[in-house]
Amino acid sequence: MKKLALSVVAVSFSFAIYQDCMQCHNGIVAVDLSNFPPSYIIKKMKEFKAGRAGSLTMINIAQEMSMKEIIYVAHKYGKKVSKKKKK
């Protein structure tokens, strides 16, 4: 029972982080993530996760996230590359 409650907390916490990407990455506080292809975001998040580069802010965020979550947000917020768009 205790274990279940803990995992519920963990899930809601990481969900809050997803939402928070755009609070900073809106082109005002930090770069707009939709400028980057998902592969770039994943690569950078891996570097942050390893603590090799970046600000403490991004290192802390990346280390709280699983690779699954990183891939998810990269596609959610990254540049949409799957659909061909011509104008």
Point out which residues bind ligand HEC (CB under 6 A): 17, 20-21, 23-25, 29-31, 33, 41, 44-45, 54-55, 57-58, 61, 73
Give 58 or 79: the residue with its C-beta nearer to ligand HEC. Answer: 58
Min CB(50)–ligand HEC separation in Å = 13
What is the per-residue DSSP string for 31-66?
Answer: --GGGS-HHHHHHHHHHHHHTSSS-HHHHHHHHHS-
Give 5 or 28: the residue with its C-beta nearer to ligand HEC. Answer: 28
68/31 Cα distance (integer angstroms): 23
